[in-house]
A and B are shown apart, each in its own frame.
Chain A
């Protein structure tokens, strides 16, 4: 059981939480319109956009879930991370430029707005909004679960509250997120993202080097793990114990699926000048790579420490990062890193509160031919409802944070990546193909996830895939297949009339 952390750690966490609530209230006074609330008034520069994209993309999933998954399956877990070597370029080449240009010539605040502009279809936009809401509940849930585990570890609430510890810790974290995210909207999100992104990078680099020191260096850690009975050489073999379809399925989903992540794509709408995209891959790729050092460092150090008998085997893999920090890092470093992890969790959560709120009060009503009178006020109400739903969902999901995060990432990837990535680059993709692809991606991901996990209905079949398939990989392949097949079938019947502004953007 984890004990109460040192005063330095507790004060770091308390000061950090107080600071972000303060930023939320300050930003609330600068949020005057729906454009401010949803896309920060479209006035932020290269570094802020890159930091915002990094801190939105990297979350409790990376900082808590990553080391946890590495503890469970070894280096195969890094297939989630390594696509960052090229996904920033993939994003900029395939979608970022067109998204930003589109936001300059049409009123585009959200990804369903993009779908509506590109395809002129309320059905496709409505389906995209539903996918955003479903994925948001999963992603927000992963953040709240990670926040609960961290608060529980730092404040030692388990000893005090027993079985109520995690729900109470999640409730406290939810409250803080709600205050600053729903009050300040994306203005608060962007300003806190800068602080959070910087903190995350500093914390990840510091903890990486400390992990190397604690474990006796990279090679010594690796040899200790390889020589242990508990882990063995397979733990360091990327394609060893983990099936190829699992390991490379994670790679496929986290590489191609990046093109459908609304919390990252959304940041490109906010860039003040599209010419600043020139160095964006370097800025995003470098900052993401620095943050991921925590996954590699703690992911190797904790198994090495367990294998060497310096740390007891973990009761739950997700305790890897908190256990390492509270047990092996100096209090000041632990405080900095705990604040960095809180930053990672909260920066992603606030992005999703805003994106999900926009889907509920803006995208879905527009798809149904309606308009909400006061989007700003109702956006805040929707944010509260969505966060509460996510907390309940996460509490009942009951699995690793990384798996919950993979489900959410996969929902966006399968539903949105084909219609956006191919649709913005090939004018023959039809509205009916986009709608079919979004519906297929969402449905297959949910169905395969459900059939793979459920034990209540014995008569239901298992998914028809080989063991170890990542549901999102199959769903994304199905979604791309449907997009191309339906485009081919419907190419003659449907007239592909595209808004001239959208067409001009696609030609650049």
Chain B
């Protein structure tokens, strides 16, 4: 299910991105923003889904999607409010969302999620041994 959804999304999002770059107007810009943020997450889902499931990676990938989409929505809402808007951590709010929210927060979420799920759904030693047993070039080990 997750894998199929990712494929359908990617197959439809790619031409939609192209269309959003041709049509003028703010709605096309927002469409492009939404698709550009979701595209990398869909690629990860396509790569990690096994038997239609994401296993333990579902929650961190959902969080990554929320952070990316929420971050760009916040930046759009805060547009033009540097002078009169709030400042966070020494920066105008939109810039703070960009630096602390879109850069640093995903770094922690993604690095931990990858490491913690690796032995279970990334690469199991027994699978690696089986692959090497079946296909390793005999000349290399000689």
Q: Is A248 part of the contact surface with B, judged by Cβ < 8 Å?
A: yes
Q: Which of A75, A94, A239, A464 contacts B76 (CB 8 A)?
A: A239
Q: Which of B33, B89, B103, B127 contacts A81 (CB 8 A)?
A: B103
If the complex has contacts A278-B115, A289-B107, A422-B46, are A239 and B75 also in contact, measured as CB distance less than 8 A?
yes
If the complex has contacts A237-B82, A256-B39, A285-B107, are A473 and B21 also in contact, measured as CB distance less than 8 A?
yes
Chain B residues with Cβ under 8 A from A239's Cβ? 75-76, 79, 94
Q: Is A474 part of the contact surface with B, judged by Cβ < 8 Å?
A: yes
Task: Judge whether A282 and B115 touch: CB under 8 Å.
Answer: yes
Which of B7, B47, B80, B103: most chain A CB closer than 10 A?
B47
Q: Is A327 part of the contact surface with B, judged by Cβ < 8 Å?
A: no
Q: With CB as the reference atom, state the residue of chain A lying closest to B50.
A: A507
Task: Judge whether B114 and A256 touch: CB under 8 Å.
Answer: no
- Give the interface SS of chain B, mostly helix, strand, loop or mixed: helix
Task: Judge whether A226 and B82 touch: CB under 8 Å.
Answer: yes
Q: Is A296 part of the contact surface with B, judged by Cβ < 8 Å?
A: yes
Which of B15, B36, B89, B106: most chain A CB closer than 10 A?
B36
Shortest C-beta distance, B56 to chain A (Å), equals: 13
Per-position 1/0 for B107-127, Cβ under 8 A of A: 101111111001100110101
Shortest C-beta distance, B55 to chain A (Å), equals: 13
Q: CA of A249 to CA of B135 in the docked complex: distance in angstroms?
A: 41
Q: With CB as the reference atom, state the residue of chain B lying closest to A508.
A: B127
Task: Judge whether A222 and B90 touch: CB under 8 Å.
Answer: yes
Shortest C-beta distance, A294 to chain B (Å), equals: 14
Report the interface size class on chain A: 35 or more
If the complex has contacts A469-B21, A484-B14, A504-B131, are A285 and B32 also in contact, measured as CB distance less than 8 A?
no
Chain A residues with Cβ under 8 A from B89's Cβ? 218
Task: Judge whether B90 and A86 touch: CB under 8 Å.
Answer: no
Per-position 1/0 for A12-38, Cβ under 8 A of B: 000000000000000000000000000
Task: Judge whether A481 and B110 touch: CB under 8 Å.
Answer: no
If the complex has contacts A85-B103, A477-B15, are A259 and B24 also in contact, measured as CB distance less than 8 A?
no
Chain A residues with Cβ under 8 A from B90's Cβ? 217-219, 222
- Segment touching B, from A97-105, A147-155, A329-337, A355-363: A97-105
Which of A81, A274, A278: most chain B CB closer than 10 A?
A278
Task: Judge whether B114 and A222 touch: CB under 8 Å.
Answer: no
Task: Judge whether B122 and A78 touch: CB under 8 Å.
Answer: no
Task: Judge whether B106 and A477 touch: CB under 8 Å.
Answer: no
Per-position 1/0 for B56-97, Cβ under 8 A of A: 000000001000000010011011111100010111101100
Q: Is B102 part of the contact surface with A, judged by Cβ < 8 Å?
A: yes
Chain B residues with Cβ under 8 A from A286's Cβ? 107, 111
Other A-B contacts than A85-B107, A222-B95, A279-B111, 15 sampled, CB-CB below 8 A, are A78-B99, A86-B40, A90-B44, A97-B122, A105-B136, A222-B87, A237-B79, A237-B80, A256-B40, A277-B118, A278-B115, A289-B103, A422-B10, A474-B21, A484-B10
Pairs A–B under 8 Å by Cβ, sample size 5: A79-B98, A86-B110, A95-B47, A275-B128, A285-B111
Q: Please name the 6 residue pairs, one residue from A and one from B, whose CB atoms are nearest each other, closest first.
A: A89-B110, A218-B90, A233-B82, A480-B14, A85-B106, A219-B90
